[in-house]
Amino acid sequence: MNRAPTMLAGAAEAVITCVKDRPAVYDDLFARALVLGADDDRFAIVAADMGTFSVEYADELVRRIERTTDIPSGNIIITTTQTHNAPGVDGREMTPEAGAWLSDCIAGLVQRASGELRPCVLKAGRAPVQIGYNRRLMQGGEIVMAPNPDGAIVPWVDVLEAKDADGRRIAALFSHAAHPVIVHWLSEEIGPDFPGYAVMHLRALLAREGEPEGVFMFAQGCCGDINGHPLRGGFGACEAAGLSLAFAVTRALADARPVAPGALKARSLDLPLPLEEPPTAAECREALAEDPDSTRFRELLSVAESGERQFHPLSMRALAVGDALCLLTFTAEMFAEYQLYTDAVSPFRHTFVFSHTNGITGYLATEEDYDLGPAGGYESWGYPTRNPPWLPPQPQVERLVREGITRLLGELL
């Protein structure tokens, strides 16, 4: 008779605001780590209040954590909250010195969490909440960024809680899908947007119940087409959104159900998603003759001259606890429809879905969006993705991603 493994958990957090030189700050940025264990296996989940990490930076960070902790690289996920008031978005970048410091900090954080592993009970729950709107509205024959009340959203928050044998909370991981852009563009100050306010309110709400212990960490869902509301709403609106999310987390915690102990399993899948064919070299040169300063056609000319087929390099990773719990992650900035699909087909009782994880490779929209062509807006057409620039994926990539999701989840059972 197989023995159910003893579940273990440890968590740690640290302020990382100093990743930007001498910033003006409206609230501190944090990095938080949760390490789960069963028998001799461990998972590491890191959530950082950052815009994004490049794939190259995330890969090196994963290797650094592996060297520091002996947790296998395939068992490590690094996700960002995607707050737009932090390095990683809109031209805000870390200096090399700040990047090296942050790498040291996060590796040490995971090591500390791993060193504090103790027996735990895992619980998972979900509660309804909506703090954002679909941001893609068809207007005048093209997509504009405006609230679309009929567009896809992910109207819930997922919560994973670990408590020790004495009932003390070790950590609570919660995830919702909405761009943290409620403060964005209104302030140059550094801060975590609504995820930070949610943690602040969550601590206060639970402290009233006599249980403020533990590390509270936010992971971003598939928010590629969802903005926190109201966009540019300011600090008061951001705090209100955080409070709404915190209330939903407390409801999910109250109704959370135990996750059956089970073996830790991890699988990864790399999907090279085909991009549209570039203009010919002759077409690019003709366009550059008319507009010599066009970055788009200068880079497309390089692509055309290479003669190489172009792909969006999507990476997916799934971590599972037995047959009850799964965390599915994507490197891309996924549209909400992919999280809704995953939730519908997942064989696991509890399935968390994170985007912007282990680096970012650009947006991934749906077939319907790609079929709009240039009218689809920057998320689905003409966005200068990193590998390579300016070419949208072909419409059939939605089918390929869905097939990949189904296959990856199935391999974990």
What pLDDT is stored for residue 386 in this prediction?
47
Residue 34, pLDDT > 70, answer: yes
Q: Which residue has the higher pLDDT, 92 or 28?
A: 28
Q: Please provide the average confidence, as pLDDT, over all residues in the chain.
A: 92
> Residues 87, 58, 153, 390: is their CA dihedral positive or negative?
positive
What pLDDT is stored for residue 190 in this prediction?
85
- Residue 233: CA atoms inside 13 Å, Cβ hemisphere, count? 20
Where is average pLDDT lowest: 85-99, 127-141, 284-298, 381-395? 381-395
Residue 133, pLDDT > 90, answer: yes
Residue 410, pLDDT > 50, answer: yes
Residue 2, pLDDT > 80, answer: no
What region, left, alpha or beta, does residue 322 occupy, with left being phi > 0 and alpha being psi -120 to 50 degrees?
Answer: left
pLDDT single digits (tens) 211-253? 668 999 999 999 999 999 999 889 999 999 999 999 999 999 9
Report the alpha-carbon distance of residue 65 to residue 83 in Å, rounded. 23
Cβ contact 35:117 at 8 Å: yes
What pLDDT is stored for residue 387 in this prediction?
47
pLDDT, mean of residues 90-117: 91
The structural domains of the chain, with segments of one domain joined by +, span: 7-263+317-360, 276-306
Structure tokens at 254: 């109250």
Rg (CA), the chain: 21
pLDDT single digits (tens) 356-408? 999 998 899 999 999 999 899 889 986 544 444 578 899 999 999 999 999 99
> Residues 174, 178, 183, 185: is their CA dihedral positive or negative?
positive
pLDDT-based confidence at residue 20 (cuts at 50, 70, 90):
low
Report the alpha-carbon distance of residue 333 to residue 315 in Å, rounded. 11
pLDDT, mean of residues 137-150: 95
pLDDT, mean of residues 113-132: 97
What region, left, alpha or beta, does residue 214 occupy, with left being phi > 0 and alpha being psi -120 to 50 degrees?
Answer: left
Backbone angles phi, psi at 338, to 5 degrees: -75, -35
Residue 110, pLDDT > 80, answer: yes
Structure tokens at 73: 């690289």
Which residues fall within 8 angstroms of residue 244, CB to CB, at 6 or more apart? 129, 131
What pLDDT is stored for residue 185 in this prediction?
65
What pLDDT is stored for residue 309 in this prediction?
83
Residue 355, pLDDT > 70, answer: yes
pLDDT single digits (tens) 291-325? 988 888 888 888 888 888 888 899 999 999 999 99
Provide the percentage of residues in the chain whose pLDDT is more than 90.
74
pLDDT, mean of residues 9-35: 86
Q: Which amino acid does the sequence have at 322?
A: G
Where is average pLDDT lowest: 11-25, 122-136, 186-200, 350-364? 11-25
Q: Which helix or strand (DSSP H or E) is residue 343 part of? A: helix 336-345
- Residue 13: CA atoms inside 13 Å, Cβ hemisphere, count? 20
